[in-house]
Amino acid sequence: MQTQLADFIRDTPEGREADAILRKCVHCGFCTATCPTYQVLGDDLDSPRGRIYLIKRALEGAPVTDKTRLHLDRCLTCRACETTCPSGVQYGRLVDIGRAVVEERTQRGPWDRVKRAVLSFGVPRSGLFGAALRLGQLVGMAPHARPSGAWPEPRHARRMLALRGCVQPSLAPSINAAAARVLDRIGISLLEVPGAGCCGAVRFHLNDQDAGRDDMRALIDAWWPIEAEAIVMTASGCGTNVKEYHHLLANDAQYRAKAQRISEMTRDLSEVIRPEDFPQGKGRARVAFHSPCTLQHGQQIRGKVEALLTHVGYELVPVRDAHLCCGSAGAYSLLQPEIANELRTRKLAALEEGAPQAIATANIGCLTHLQEPTATPVRHWIELIDAALA
Ligand code: SF4
Ligand code: SF4
């Protein structure tokens, strides 16, 4: 695609990166076939190809309107289009650049600003989020978290760090505890560092990119110096973000090297345990696995969780359209509830087609979003492995 970026961005690092990405796009439209918002809305401007065109025009200096922002807001950042694109267009990076420009040049309405400010202030602060959740539980408006069970004492020479995260400690403390027990069985002690909270994805994807980068720096400071062989992510959304710190903080001279080191050390939990670490099992429950977009598209990890679940004895049921987003997408389900709920309805129909006894996933956002309307238990896959080994 030919480009003529405007003076305000052409010679900046973002401009150069966006230009290189835009030039790769041949406008073939293959990506529209796997775009969830295009499937729901049927408008080319709600497809990757249409959004790429809108971003190109914005970066070329064309007028930017609320409608431009709406089509970018409706994007889930699921990155299914990246997996599909034969030309290797890095849509996720392009949309970050496009969103920052469009945000700066438009003015959101008061209600939209209030919602975003509340989410941006409350979600990354795990103490505040936990207090709000407890209040919701007291008045019966929020579900109670499952008991986490014991966290094994650190006793092994091999040590890895776990990210506590922002909402997961309140919503599902059982996930990291289950990971610690499973890793303990294979000779690895999992540790949480006090103060290592939000990875920055929440505020970054609410388009408060500077505040998101502040959260990233704060997390690096909490972890540094790192006295462990790896950093383990039990939420694939956070994992995708931390693996990209080297890129997101590339222009920060003070943090660039630390960010690079942290990205190199970061692993999804499914990358640090292998089926052969455990005895083979059989005859366990039928499970449908929902691979979050951040796992299958963001990190391009496929088949690992499925192999682990099968190895310990779970029966995996086939899932139609497994590449499609469930509609959670961070704060998306709160900001675009109609599209998010439609995608969830479609996803649950696909997941429950094989009459599973449980749904497994790998990200706290997908887990809580999917669990809300269904009686089928939705669990993090590590909780199922932990239960199988107990
Ligand atoms: S992003 Fe890729 S698949 Fe989509 S229109 Fe461009 S080249 Fe084609
Ligand atoms: S990231 Fe997902 S929702 Fe956004 S354009 Fe790509 S496929 Fe569509």
Position 184 pLDDT exceeds 90: yes
Query: What is residue 3's predicted lDDT score, i.e. its pLDDT?
Result: 93
Confidence of residue 364 (pLDDT cuts 50, 70, 90): very high
d(CA 335, CA 146): 27
Q: Are 177 and 187 in contact (CB under 8 A)?
A: no
**In the predicted model, what is the mean pLDDT of residues 313-317?**
98
The CB density around residue 372, as the number of other CB atoms within 10 Å, is: 12
260-286 confidence digits (pLDDT tens)? 999 999 999 999 999 999 999 999 999
The pLDDT tens digits of the residues spanning 49-78 come to: 999 999 999 999 999 999 999 999 999 999
**Rounded Cα gap, residues 160 and 37, in angstroms:** 38
Quick one: pLDDT band at residue 145, thresholds 50, 70, 90? Answer: confident
pLDDT band, very low/low/confident/very high, at 1 (cuts 50, 70, 90):
confident
Q: Which atom of ligand 2 is nearest to the CA of 293?
A: 2
pLDDT in tens, 81-126: 999 999 999 999 999 999 999 999 999 999 999 999 999 998 888 8
Say yes or no: CB of residue 28 within 6 Å of ligand 1.
yes
Quote the percentage of the chain above a pLDDT of 70.
100
Residue 324 φ/ψ region, left for φ over 0, alpha for ψ in the -120 to 50 degree band, beta for the rest = beta
What is the dihedral sign for C-alpha 8, 10, 12, 15?
A: positive
Q: Which ligand is nearest to the CA of 74?
A: 2
Which residue, 270, 211, 191, is CA-closest to 236?
270
Identify the residue whose C-alpha is closest to ligand 1 atom 7: 25
Instruction: Indicate if ligand 2 lies below 6 Å from the C-beta of 85.
Output: no
Task: Report residue 216 as tokens.
Answer: 């990233």
Does residue 212 contact residue 205 with C-beta atoms inside 8 Å? yes
Ligand 2 and 340: CB distance under 6 A: no
- Three-point CA angle 152, 158, 164, nearest 5°: 55
Residue with tokens 């776990």: 162
pLDDT band at 216; cut points 50, 70, 90 = very high
In this prediction, residue 273 carries a pLDDT of 97
Say if ligand 1 is within 6 A of residue 49 CB: yes
Phi-psi region of 321 (alpha: psi -120 to 50; beta: other; left: phi over 0): left
Residue 221: predicted pLDDT = 96
Q: Is 48 in the pocket of ligand 2 (CB under 6 A)?
A: yes
Q: 133 pLDDT exceeds 90? A: no
Which positions ≥6 away from 246 have C-beta within 8 Å? 256, 259, 260, 262, 263, 264
Amino acid 45 reads: L
- H or E element that contains 306: helix 304-311
Q: How far is the CA of 75 from the centre of ligand 2 (A)?
A: 5
pLDDT value for 122: 87
Residues 6+ apart with CB under 8 A from 89: 21, 24, 25, 31, 48, 52, 81, 82
Question: Does the pLDDT value for residue 200 go beyond 90?
Answer: yes
Per this entry, what is the length of the chain?
390
Mean pLDDT, residues 322-343:
96
pLDDT in tens, 3-54: 999 999 999 999 999 999 999 999 999 999 999 999 999 999 999 999 999 9
SS3 358: strand
Please report which confidence band the pLDDT of residue 127 belongs to, taking 50, 70 and 90 as the band edges. Answer: confident
Inform me whether the pLDDT recorded for 147 exceeds 90: no
Residues 6+ apart with CB under 8 A from 119: 202, 206, 331, 334, 335
For residue 118, the model assigns a pLDDT of 92
CA 13 – ligand 2 centroid, Å: 24
Ligand 1 within 6 A of CB of 29 = yes
Say what the pLDDT of residue 369 is: 97
Three-state SS at 262:
helix
The pLDDT assigned to 378 comes to 98
- Whether pLDDT at 130 is above 90: no
